[in-house]
Each structure stands twice: as structure tokens, then as C-alpha cells.
């Protein structure tokens, strides 16, 4: 909520105050603490209020939403299961004569969350509104990154969005390409090593995607950035994950784009885009050498990125 307040998008009662502003949340609402369902419901309500005011609120599908919809809740806090218990009457009506089926093998305290987030469940249906990719103006927004190979998928990026919607509404199968290591919700090609500029091969792929999609920049999350929101490749990619949740301890920040003007909103005011460039790769290499000289374990930040790191 602090980020929304910082950007002037909500009023003192938590309702939409952004008028015609377009707001995009970059994914991973879930598995970030005990209030993940509350945050999802807030974003859902704000989307309705923003639409009525001529604006928009979009939420991108993150890898944790995909994992939860697949039944993997191993990264969820134990306290994050309890809020789903309120959905039990709705779930029982939805399950009907089938009952809880295989979920009876799961601990009772976990069943409502798992069932609610399955494709076709009440929360799974909410996740269906989360696009894998979104184009707003001249920005391409995605949780982890779009690679040239993703443009070759059946139907391109819109085809992937459509197949993902069908899966989450239980109208189609899980798209095979969604959970691949280099998928748009898993790749770290453009975001890791964090806070450091991109390898030349990553820039080449980025340039190709931007050219083919008719966009100027890509905006990604997925990998927390130590220096906060920052840009790489001369502003052609912005990394916006600041670990902004209680369990990770990051600071709230917002990327603001108004026409051709870009700034980062922080607790201390607006920071111009040019002050949030990623570290040069040479500087990071020097820091790594200093760590080695101090007998520290090298971080491997200057290894050539492969774009297929599936670390959660």
C-alpha cells in the first residue's frame, strides 16, 4: 500500500485515486507473506475502480502465481493459508459431488488455498486476468523477460496470453512453454546479475525483441535489485523488483513513465532516470576481485548470462 500511496494512486481509504493513470504490477503477488490473498483482492478491486475512472490496473503473471496454480505452495508462509478458509463454502459448492478428492491426502489447513488457486478455482480465475506480457505505450512489460524465441510461439505473445488464460480458467491445458527455464516468467537474462549492466549477448536479444515488438523498453521484475529500481542497456530495460514485502525487507519504489520522462519514486522523493543506471560490468568485476582478495566467496556475477536460471 505504501507504493500506491507514494504514487498518489489511492486515497486515504484505499480506493483508486489515480484517475486515468495506467498502473502495472509486475507479478509475484503470492508467496510474499501472509497477506498475499488480501493484496490480490485489493488489486482486483482497484482494477474495477480504475476502469470506471478511465484508468487501468494490470497485474502481470509471475512465476509464483504459475507455481501456485500448479499446486506448488512450498514457498507460501504457513499463515498465508488461513485467509483462504473463508472460501470454503464457495469451494464446496464448486466441487459438488466430486468432493475434495485427492486433496483429502493433504493437510486440512492447506486444502482451501490449494483448491482455490487451481485453474477454475475462485482465485485461479482471478489469476486468469494476469497477462504473461503486456504492451503499454512503447513499453513491453513482463515478469521475467521476453526472448526472441518467445516471439516464435504459436500466436506470438498474444497466443501465449490466450493459452494461459484458458489454462487458468480450466478451459485448456497448462502451456508447456510457461514453466520452461527460459520462459517469460522464469528467465533472468535481463535481470541478473542484479544491479549490473547486461552482457553484450543479452543486449543483442533485447534489441531484437524491442525492434520486433515496436517498443522502446522492456520492464521486468523477478530478480530483486540491491540498488533499487534501475535501468540497463542505455535504458532499454528497467528492473523493478525491489523485494518490496515484509518477508524480504526491500524498500517501496515505483517506476513512473510520463510520456518520454522516466523517474523512480522513492520514500525520499523523485529520482531522475539517469541516476538509476546499473553498475558497469567492469565495476562489478573490480568488486568481485576485491572480494577474492579478501578471501570472500566469489559471487559469479560476471559469468555470461544464459537466460535460463530457474532459481525461485
pLDDT per position in the chain (312 positions), as tens? Answer: 889 999 999 999 999 999 999 999 999 999 988 899 999 999 999 999 999 999 999 999 999 999 999 999 999 999 999 999 999 999 999 888 777 888 888 999 999 999 999 999 999 999 999 999 999 999 999 999 999 999 999 999 999 999 999 999 999 999 999 989 999 999 999 998 888 999 999 999 999 999 999 999 999 999 999 899 999 999 999 999 998 776 677 899 999 999 999 999 999 999 999 999 999 976 555 555 566 556 555 444 444 444 444 445
Pairing between β-strand 133-136 and β-strand 139-142 as defined by DSSP bridges: antiparallel
Give domain status of residue 206, yes or no: yes
User: What CATH number should be reported for the domain holding residue 27?
Assistant: 3.60.21.10
Per cent of the chain over pLDDT 70 is: 89
- Closest C-alpha to 198, from 279, 299, 263: 279
Note the pLDDT tens digit of each residue in 128-157: 999 999 999 999 999 999 999 999 999 999
Dihedrals phi, psi of 288, to nearest 5 degrees: -65, -40
**Contact present, 210 and 245 (Cβ < 8 Å):** no
Asked, for residue 300, whether it belongs to a domain, the answer is: no
Please list, in sequence order, all residues whose beta carbon lies within 8 angstroms of the beta carbon of residue 279, skipping any fewer than 6 positions away: 195, 196, 197, 227
Kindly state whether residue 304 falls inside one of the protein's structural domains.
no
Q: Which residues pair with 231 in a beta bridge?
A: 238, 277
Quick check: is 8 in a domain?
A: yes
Domain that holds residue 286: 2-293
What total number of domains does the chain contain?
1
Q: What is the pLDDT of residues 265-296, one digit of tens each?
A: 999 999 999 999 999 976 555 555 566 556 55
Q: Is residue 307 part of a domain?
A: no
Is residue 94, in this structure, part of any structural domain at all? Answer: yes
Query: Does residue 33 form part of some domain?
Result: yes
In a domain? residue 299: no
Would you say 201 and 304 are in contact if contact means Cβ atoms under 8 Å apart? yes
Can you give the pTM of this predicted structure?
0.88
Amino acid at each position: 500500500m505504501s507504493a500506491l500511496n507514494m504514487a498518489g494512486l489511492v486515497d486515504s481509504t484505499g480506493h483508486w485515486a489515480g484517475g486515468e493513470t495506467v498502473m502495472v504490477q509486475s507479478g509475484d503477488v503470492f508467496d510474499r507473506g501472509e497477506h498475499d490473498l488480501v493484496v490480490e483482492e485489493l488489486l482486483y478491486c482497484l482494477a474495477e475502480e480504475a476502469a470506471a475512472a478511465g484508468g487501468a490496473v494490470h497485474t502481470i503473471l509471475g512465476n509464483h502465481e504459475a507455481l501456485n496454480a500448479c499446486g506448488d505452495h512450498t514457498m507460501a508462509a504457513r499463515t498465508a493459508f488461513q485467509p483462504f478458509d473463508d472460501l470454503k463454502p464457495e469451494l464446496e459448492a464448486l466441487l459438488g459431488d466430486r468432493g475434495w478428492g485427492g486433496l483429502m491426502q493433504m493437510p486440512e489447513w492447506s486444502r482451501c488455498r490449494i483448491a482455490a488457486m487451481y485453474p477454475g478455482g475462485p482465485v485461479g480465475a482471478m489469476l486468469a486476468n494476469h497477462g504473461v506480457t503486456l504492451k503499454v505505450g512503447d513499453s513491453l512489460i513482463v515478469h521475467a523477460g521476453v526472448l526472441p524465441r518467445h516471439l516464435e510461439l504459436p500466436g506470438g505473445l498474444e497466443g501465449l496470453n490466450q493459452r494461459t488464460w484458458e489454462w487458468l480458467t480450466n478451459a485448456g491445458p497448462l502451456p508447456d512453454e510457461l514453466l520452461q527455464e527460459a520462459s517469460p516468467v522464469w528467465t533472468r537474462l535481463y535481470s541478473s546479475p542484479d544491479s549490473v549492466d547486461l552482457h553484450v549477448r543479452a543486449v543483442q536479444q533485447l534489441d531484437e525483441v524491442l525492434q520486433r515488438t515496436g517498443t522502446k523498453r522492456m520492464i521486468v521484475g523477478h530478480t530483486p535489485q540491491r540498488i533499487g529500481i534501475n535501468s540497463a542497456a542505455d535504458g532499454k530495460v528497467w528492473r523493478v523488483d525491489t523485494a518490496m514485502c515484509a518477508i524480504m525487507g526491500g524498500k517501496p519504489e515505483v517506476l513512473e513513465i510520463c510520456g518520454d520522462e522516466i523517474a523512480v519514486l522513492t520514500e525520499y522523493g523523485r529520482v531522475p532516470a539517469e541516476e538509476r543506471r546499473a553498475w558497469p560490468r567492469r565495476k562489478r568485476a573490480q568488486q568481485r576481485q576485491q572480494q577474492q582478495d579478501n578471501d570472500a566467496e566469489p559471487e559469479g556475477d560476471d559469468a555470461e548470462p544464459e537466460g535460463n536460471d530457474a532459481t525461485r
